[in-house]
Each structure stands twice: as structure tokens, then as C-alpha cells.
Amino acid sequence: MKIKLLIKITTITLFVFFSMFTVLPAYAAPEIEKNVIQNDRQTEKNVQSKQNSTTLTLGTKYLYGQSGLLDYIHLPTGNFMKHIYDNNGNLLKKNLVSLVPEHSLPFTGDNVIELSNLAINTQIGNANTVEFWMYWDGTEGVMPFSWKSGYDLFFQYGYFGFNTFNGEVLGVPSSSFVNKWVHVATVFYNGLADAQSCELYIDGIKQRLAIIGTSPTVSSTADTNAFIGGFKSGGSNYYSYKGKISNLRIWNKKQEVSIIQKNMYRNVNKSDPTLVGEWLLTDPPVQSKKIEGNKVTNLSDLNITTSIGGKNTVEFWMYWDGRETAMPFAWSSQYDLYFSGGYFGFNIFNGDVLGIPSASLKNKWVHVAAIFYNGIPDVNNTELYINGKKQTLRAFTTGQSWSVQASSNAHIGGFSYNMESSYMFNGYLADLRIWNRALSSSEISSSMYSILKGNENGLVGEWKLADKPIGSTKFSGEKINELEVLGVNTTIGGKNTVEFWMYWDGTEVVMPFAWSSEHYDLYLVWGHIGFNIFNGDILGASSAQLKNKWVHIAAVFYNGVPDENNVELYINGERQTLKSLQGAAKMEVRTSKKINLGGYKEGNVNLYVFKGSLAQLKIWNRALTSNEIKSRMYQTLPDQTPNLVGQWELRESDYLLVER
């Protein structure tokens, strides 16, 4: 019995091994190509037969703007018919234009992005939706997207569609996709992949699928791990895609055609629980902040891990100009990332660098991820990743190492102590994120291009470092936006904080922000900006340096009689010295549940209309501290942040595409 049992086990083991051998791409990569050659006559007949009977389904879509007017018609040719209106909404003319993704990431056949810990639906009979914009260069045998389970989208035999590592394509002819932007939306069915269960949409139009090769006979399912731009196995890349991809999204359900057609052109609500993730895919970063060695951005009250043996991860995009003795990031505890002596890595203020040679980092955008260990840092407990690849660290030190820990305060662009800055970084920084745990290698790869929801496991904060906002609302002296805000503090003696980014054209006697029912506002007049209560007064500071540039404004409003002791004004994180000009506030005012942006609305009359642009409005029902204002200037916050009454990006358009 024992001998027979051993034989059975051995047989089963060999069968499993053989199955893995024929399915996993680490071995299958050359096998599929060989199958095409071996079966070329049969395959060619199959392809020719299908091409004669299968064509791409085209259609027309209509894009309506936030005003309800028709902005564009997406024509079957791929072009767009733009509609142009006057200020009263009357159609003036139509123009034929080309709309393409504003940002994209090139794939040159050697970069595959790994996604991990995806909260997708793996239950048999259910489905997941994957959508993205794609520009394909025509190279065959490539996968723009794949699940780690071997369920993917494949270009082969002149077709594009679903593949289950069975040498097949369930799809449509691909010749019309070459060297042009198309939107792809796919419904991956968990089960037997066939033309009835799987769905493929090209530019929002559902396609009739044909099978090229052998139909699958076993079920396929989505996986919690996936790849963009190819397939990975055993540390190697296979089926590497060539072209560009933009705005890839994964949903853990089957999306309806109306939602697919709506979402393909627009930014989506990232708080949607069915949205598994979104990857912007851009090179270089969409927005960045120029660091010229003259100012450090200070972060405070960070909920990081400080216990000995614990770890924290810091990641960001960096463009370094080559100047040494510089710190792009530092904890206040004198634990940092440091450029010195031709090296870049961890430093504990001992003339040391635990890192790598820095020559290859100069004058280019790179993604940096650093895992800081609380204790005595060495090559075994700290980790440094460049562009998602773990580096081999060396210790370059002049003295004895000691135990250090991350701290609840940190600095971006240098180091700050007692109001003095040092070790200033020169270059650009973007998209800094702090996590209170060690990210895995696959998590770092996934996070590089991801758009965060804000509630990810271990996320301490995200700072969208930028010289200007990515989106804004322009005010030309004609419109005023009215918003209702619930949850503000209206009690006498209470305070609220209002913060936003402002680009002002210099026009005086204007109000960028006002509490609409209380005559309480921020006023630009007489060369100053400050608080006003409609008494011919202004309690403020000089506005001379604000004209024609983006600045961050934070104002702490007091419910009562405002004076220089109970209200506060910050410009770019720096508190201003206030003084009363031409009159003083003598009456009690308070905040209200309605606000005006871009002026003050008295009935149907627009007054004090602002000229310029506003972006990223946030309202808090308490007074933020000076450190909080500095720390949160660039920070993206979840809507559930305590005391955050509301936040508005103030984008005029939610389109992903731009005219080219």
C-alpha cells in the first residue's frame, strides 16, 4: 500500500509540475511563439476566416460639461467635434479637434509595473472591470494588462482581446489601433472566458468577440496581483508592451455601458467603494515643486511608528540638480536621506551615508522609496528603492553609528532647527508620501503611479508638492460661486479656518472669499489683504507680493469683534502681522453656513467680484495652528479628517483629455 501510495503521489506531483510548466509564463514565453509557428497554417486560416466576418464596432458619444451644455461629440473616426458658446449659452461654432490624455507613461518593452493587494472580486460567476487609455505601436505578442493568474489582454495574430495562456485571443481585429489613442474597457469574468461572459469596449462601444486559436476549457479568475505593461514571473518580464498607457482603473464589479462611457473621459470619485484603484501613469510627475535651497517645508504631528524595531516608509519623486550636501527629506530626530561625496542614502548626522553612488540620479526624474528602521540602521534593516528596484546598500561612514528613530516632525527640502534651515536640497520634488510601516517591494511598485484614496493601510499622509495647483476656477469679474457649508462653528468666541490657493491679477476692491450672510470676508483693497466686516475697514497685511502668482492663503476667522489678537492670516504658511487700516471693526460678526467665492452676492447683485483664479478650498471648524497650516499646505486629506468641514478642488473641468 505504501509503495502504491508513493507512486500515486509521484504521478500527481509530476502532473501538477507539468501543468505549471506549460502555463506559467516564465516557461511559456517561448512556447506561445513556437505554437504560432507550428500551427501557422491552421491559425492563418482561422484568422482570415474571422477577419472576413469580424469588424470593429464604432459609435458616437456625447460629452456634456458641468453647465449642461454639449461640449464635444466623439465621432466614430476618433476625432471630436467641439461646440463653442457665447456667455449666454448660444452656440457660436463647431470645430473638429483631437483630444488625447493629458498625461501618459511610455512603455518601451522593459518596464512592467506590478500591482499588489488588489481588493478585487475573485468569486466564480462575478466579474471585474479594467479600463485605460492606450497608444499601441503595433508590436505583436504583448500584454498591456495582465492578472498574475494568467488572465490578460493580448495582442497577437492581428487581434486584441482576452487571453488565458492557452495561445488564444478572444477579441477583435487590432489593425485600426496602431499609433492612435483608444480607450479600452474590459469586463473580466471569473469562470470560463468566452464571448458571452467577457466584454470588450473600444472607445465606449461594446465589441462582438471572435476566438482566434483554441477556446479555453478551464476557468480563469482575476487575481489580487496584476501587471501593467506585460507579465512578470520569476523576476523576469514577459510579453512586454510597447506604446503608452494612461489612467488605468480597476473596479471590483461589472460596469454598465453608460458608466463606462461616462468615466472614460473624466476624473472619477475616488471614494467609490467599487473602485479598487487608479494609476495615473505619467512621466514626469503631473505637478512638482521647485526647491532652490532657500526654504524647507515643515511637517508636524505625524502619526508615524517610533518604537524601536519599527519601520516607516517615505516615498517621493525627485529631480536632483547634482549639488551635494543636501537632504531631500529629513526627520527632526536627525535621521534623513542625504547627498554627500558622490553618494545618496540614509544619514544620522555623523558624516555618514548608508546608500548608493548618486551619479546616475543627477538631472533626471526618479522615484525614491526609503524604509527607515528605528534602531541602529544597517544594510540589513533599512531599504532603498530607486524606480521601484531595491538597491544594494553600502556603508560610507566616518564614525560610530548609534540608535535613531523617526519623529513626529519632519522636513521636506532640507533640515530645520530653531527656525534655521540647512542642508538645502536643489531641484524638484513631487508626490511625497509617508507610511507608518514598511512597504513591500510590490507595494512600492504599485504605489509609484497610484492615485490614493487616503484610507490606505498605514498611510500617514500625502503631500502633492506643487508650484501651482493642477486645477482651478477662473474668476473674470462676472461670476460668484455660492456654496453651502454644514458643520462650521458659529458660536461666539469660536473660530474657523479657511484655506485656499489664489492667483490674483492685481485688481483692487475685490473679495476672494466671504461668509455670505454675515458681511464677514477677506478683502483686497488699498494695497492690502485682510479681514473686513463691511465697515469701510480692513484688518490686514500688505498685498504687494501677491500679484500674478500662486500663493497659499489661510485665514482664522473669529466669531465676535475681530481684532489683531483673535484673527490670523497666513501667506504661504507664514503668519502675517496685522494692522487696522481706515477704520476698525466695531461690531460683532460670525461665520455662516453659506459662503461666496469670487466676490459677495447681495440678493441678485454681484459685488466686489474677484479677478484671478482660486483652487483647493478647505474649511475647518477650529483654528489651525501655525505648524498645521505649514504641514497641510500641500497635503491631500480624506473627507473624514476630523474638524474638516469640507474641501473643494475647484476644477473648472473634470475631463481627462486635452486638445492637441
Q: What is the CATH number of the domain that holds 486?
A: 2.60.120.200
Residue 25 included in any domain: yes
Q: Identify whether residues 259 and 297 lie together within a single domain.
A: no
- Copy the grid coordinates of residue 400: 560610530
Render pLDDT for 285-326 as a digit per residue (tens, 0 to 9): 989 999 987 789 999 999 999 999 999 999 999 999 999 999
Identify the pLDDT of residue 513: 98
pLDDT band for position 3 (cuts 50, 70, 90): very low
Amino acid present at 336: D
Pull the grid cell for residue 303. Answer: 502619526
Residue 342: count of CB within 10 angstroms of its CB: 11
The reply to whether 270 and 296 lie within a common domain is: no
pLDDT band at 49 (very low <50, low <70, confident <90, very high): low
pLDDT tier at 228 (50, 70, 90 boundaries)? very high
Q: What digits encode the pLDDT tens for the residues 157-171?
A: 999 999 999 999 999
456: which DSSP letter?
-
Q: Which residue has the cell 532657500?
A: 294
Q: Is residue 608's pLDDT more than 70?
A: yes
Domain identity same for 392 and 526: no
* Domain co-membership, 317 together with 376: yes
Q: Which of 461-475, 521-535, 581-595 has the lowest mean pLDDT?
A: 581-595
Residue 284 lies in a domain: no
Distance of CA 216 to the CA centre of its chain: 37
Looking at residues 53-71, what average pLDDT do you find?
86
Give the pLDDT of residue 47.
Answer: 56
Percent of the chain topping pLDDT 70: 91
Question: Do residues 255 and 390 both lie within one domain?
Answer: no
pLDDT in tens, 470-505: 889 999 988 899 999 989 999 999 999 999 999 999
- Supply the range of the domain harboring residue 37: 2-44
Residue 158, in any domain of the structure: yes
Residue 31 in this model has a pLDDT that exceeds 50: no
Asked if the structure places residue 91 within a domain, the reply is no
Residue 62 in any domain: the answer is: no
Residue 46: what pLDDT? 57
Q: Which residue has the higher pLDDT, 214 or 201?
A: 201
Amino acid of residue 239? Y
Polymer length of the chain: 660
| Whether residue 443 is found in the same domain as residue 314 | yes
Burial of 515 from C-beta contacts in 10 A (0-12 / 13-18 / 19+): buried
Q: Is residue 171 part of a domain?
A: yes
Number of domains composing the chain: 4
**Mean pLDDT, the chain, whole residue set:** 90
In a domain, residue 311? The reply is yes
- At 12, the pLDDT band (50, 70, 90 cuts) reads very low
Q: What is the pLDDT of residue 48?
A: 53
Answer yes or no: do 327 and 369 share one domain: yes
Alpha helices, DSSP H only, in 366-412? none
Over residues 227-249, the mean pLDDT reads 96
Are 324 and 360 contained in the same domain? yes
Which of 58, 89, 51 minimizes the C-alpha distance to 74? 58
Given this model, what pLDDT does residue 235 score? Answer: 87
- Residues 266, 295, single domain; the answer is no
| Mean per-residue pLDDT, 90-104 | 94
| 334 occurs within a structural domain | yes
Of 279, 301, 323, which residue constitutes the final position of a domain?
A: 279
Mean pLDDT of 350-374: 97
Domain boundary among 463, 498, 520: 463
Helices then strands, counting H and E runs in the chain, come out as 6, 56
Average pLDDT over residues 112-122: 96
Q: Which residues of 500-512 are buried (b: 16+ CB within 10 A; e: fewer)?
A: bbbbbeeeeebbb
Domain closes at, from 229, 246, 279: 279
How far is Cα 591 from Cα 595, in angstroms, rounded to an integer?
9
Question: Measured between alpha carbons, how far is 2 from 61 in angstroms, rounded to an integer?
Answer: 68
With the CA atoms of 27, 28, 32 and 37 taken in that order, what torsion angle do they form, in degrees rounded to the nearest 10?
A: 30
Q: Are 346 and 353 in contact (CB under 8 A)?
A: yes
Which pLDDT score is estimated for 53? 56
Largest CA-CA distance found in the chain, in angstroms, rounded: 104
Residue 45 has pLDDT above 90, yes or no: no
Same domain, 424 and 315: yes
Residues 326 and 401 in one domain: yes
Cβ distance 296 to 424 under 8 Å? yes
Are 516 and 413 members of one domain?
Answer: no
